A and B are shown apart, each in its own frame.
Chain A
Amino acid sequence: MSRSDALTKNQRVLLEEAAEWLLKLDEAPLSHVDQENLHRWRRQSPEHERIWQTACALNRDLSLLPSGIAKPVLQRPRHSRRTLLKCVVGAGLALPIGWFAVDKKTFAQYRTATGERLELTLSDGTKMTLNTATAIDTEPGRQIRLYTGEVFIRTGTADRTLSVITAQGTVQAVKSDFTVRCLPQETRISVIQGSVKAGPRRLTTEQTRWVSRGETCDFTENAIGLIHPLPTNRVAWLRDQLIAEEMPLRELVEELNRYRRGIIHCEETIGDLKVSGVFQLNNPDQALEVLAQLLNLKLTHYTDYWVLLKAA
């Protein structure tokens, strides 16, 4: 039952072109010129973009499945449809009692790749924006599980509490705008509107603390850090910006690394240089070039992925 005969000639041509791009992507990461070309191709018409989105969905499906599962399932011997019908009739299915699995975030319901952003609205009206390299699951009872990355949440007007669960504990909110970010051993909360409650996993309910509008704090699984005023640039990523005010170059590079595939490395000797400026996160490579110009540094591309910043 192939639908390919129902396609228009134009669609067929577009599919073939999209397939060419997928072949290119299979072989090597796209060069800058090719990335530009692909963007141009996608912008040619809404149908181009729709077909590209379909290609992305196919890639997503394929990468969602860990090979330990995809391989035995999809590579099993196949039968014609008729034998398929015959041999399964009456076959019961036994569910094993224990479940076995793999890294949870691989299976997360909503994920973004490095440099990607995703906006979602849940059925209760809660709005979320997933920053780069983020994985979350939504669970019944207004629970959100944040496995990795950073999420902005606007809870909407419902009176019910919304919880964000991280490796270190739970963040609870009612009618608030806030972000939660996973750091290596800590959870960082930044509150823009309303207030949220920080609840490290190993503390009792009495020991939880409120963090209010314009405040930020980090907590580990058994302690809540000091509450600080929220730096204005903390949520600039929602506008695709990275705002540096007298930021050490080392930190800035670390931030840019979150949004760019590969590794940007800066020489130890220049790590303390202070930088001020606004950088576009949707084009980290351009941001790097601006940065190099600004501080008069030398930018060396070893590969598309690996870049070194050093004193000129």
Chain B
Amino acid sequence: MSLSIGSASVTNLYSEHQRWLKGWIQRRVGCSDEAADLAQDTFIRVIQRQRKEADFTIGYPRTYLRTVAHGLLIDHFRRRKVEQAYLEALQQLPHEVVIDLQEREIILETLQRLDKMLDALPPPVRETFLLSRVDGLTYQQIAVQIGVSERTVKRYMQQAYVQCLALML
């Protein structure tokens, strides 16, 4: 079965598969509202892609929807993880003030973006990058700490920067 996606058939796709997709997502996130949002986002992605590519066709609608939804779920879970770690970090801080919701959103978004980029890095490169940019160690200090030469530290940093920038372009 092959489905060519025009605006009319997105409506078809939606009416035929929305309930199923929401159910599939709900079994994974546990919450009906979240599942409905994520299903919605999945269809939005499909429409966006169809707008970009004129001859966009889908072979197996459900397989396709599941793949797109899976990507969104990964981001969704990452967000939760990051949020959880963020809240724990906040509680460890010495003093209390107020962060308004908007600030919180900005911080969380930034954390999520960085977290996603860091995932793409090989572990030693990631560790080096964090020691440098979060802990503020010099390359020389990092070399001592992880037991490699300073040249290797530089090579790791170079790789980390190139990969992060590539993901941001």
Instruction: For residue A137, give the distance in angstroms from its CB to the closest CB of chain B.
Output: 7
Given A18-B161, A23-B157, A27-B139, check contact A76 B166 (CB 8 Å).
no
From B82, B118, B163, contact of A2 by CB (8 A): B163
CB distance from B166 to the nearest CB of A (A): 4
Least CB separation from B96: chain A residue:
A100
Q: How far is the CA of A5 from the CA of B34 in the complex (A)?
A: 33
Contact A23 B163 (CB under 8 A): no
B-contact bits for A69-96, CB 8 A (1 contact / 0 none): 1111111101001001100111101011
Q: From A50-58, A218-226, A256-264, A293-301, give the one contacting chain B.
A: A50-58
Docked CA distance A93–B114 (Å): 21
Q: Do A57 and B168 contact each other (CB < 8 Å), given the known contacts A15-B162, A26-B132, A84-B77?
A: yes
Q: Say whether B110 contacts A64, CB under 8 Å.
A: yes
Identify which of B12-20, B46-54, B84-92 touches chain A.
Answer: B84-92
The segment out of A102-110, A123-131, A151-159 that lies at the interface is A102-110
Looking across the interface, which residue of chain B has its beta carbon closest to that of A95?
B87
B157–A26 touching, CB < 8 Å = yes
- Report the separation of the CA atoms of residues A16 and B111 in the bound assembly, to the nearest whole angstrom: 24
Given the interface pairs A70-B134, A72-B88, the reply to whether A101 lies near B93 with Cβ below 8 Å is yes
Considering only CB atoms, which chain A residue lies closest to B111 in the complex? A73
On whether the beta carbons of A104 and B168 are closer than 8 Å, the reply is no
Question: What residues on B are CB-neighbors of A99 within 8 Å?
Answer: 90, 96-99, 104
CA distance A311 to B138 in the complex (A): 38
* Neighbour of B97 across the interface among A20, A73, A78, A100, CB < 8 A: A100
Cα separation A51 to B100 with both chains bound (whole Å): 32
Q: Are B169 and A7 in contact (CB under 8 A)?
A: yes
Interface of A, secondary structure class, is: helix
Q: For chain B, which range describes its interface: under 10, 10 to 19, 20 to 34, or 35 or more residues? A: 35 or more
Interface members, chain B 25-51 (any A CB < 8 Å): 28-30
Contacts of A91 in B (CB 8 A): 80, 84
B165 and A54: CB pair below 8 A?
Answer: yes
Nearest B residue to A82, CB-CB: B74
Chain B residue, CB-CB nearest to A20: B158
Query: How many Å lie between the Cα of A75 and that of B164 in the bound state?
Result: 16
Dominant secondary structure at the B interface: helix
Q: Does A4 contact B (CB under 8 A)?
A: yes
Closest to B115 in A: A74
Interface residues of B in 95-109 (CB under 8 A from A): 95-100, 102-104, 106-107
Tell whether, in the assembled complex, residue A16 and residue B110 are in contact, meaning their CB atoms are under 8 Å apart: no
Q: Taking the nearest CB of chain A, how far is it from the CB of B116, in angstroms? A: 9
Contact residues in B for A109 (Cβ distance below 8 Å) = 102-103, 106
Q: Is B55 an interface residue (CB 8 A)?
A: no
Judge whether A37 is part of the interface by a CB distance below 8 angstroms.
no
Report whether A70 and B111 are in contact in the complex, using a CB–CB cutoff of 8 Å: yes
Min C-beta distance of A29 to chain B, whole Å: 13
Q: Is B154 an interface residue (CB 8 A)?
A: yes
A67: which B residues are within 8 A, CB to CB? 134-136
* Beta-carbon nearest neighbor of B108 in chain A: A73
* A203 interface residue (CB < 8 Å to B): no
Select from chain B the residue with minimum beta-carbon distance to A90: B30
Q: Which residues of B contact A (CB under 8 A)?
A: 28-30, 73-74, 77-78, 80-93, 95-100, 102-104, 106-107, 110-111, 113-115, 118-120, 123, 130, 132-136, 138-139, 154, 157-158, 161-169
Contacts beyond the supplied A69-B90, A93-B84, A102-B97: 8 A-B pairs with Cβ under 8 Å:
A2-B166, A18-B161, A20-B158, A65-B107, A72-B88, A75-B130, A85-B77, A100-B90
* A-B contact list, 5 entries, CB within 8 Å: A68-B93, A71-B89, A89-B29, A91-B84, A99-B96
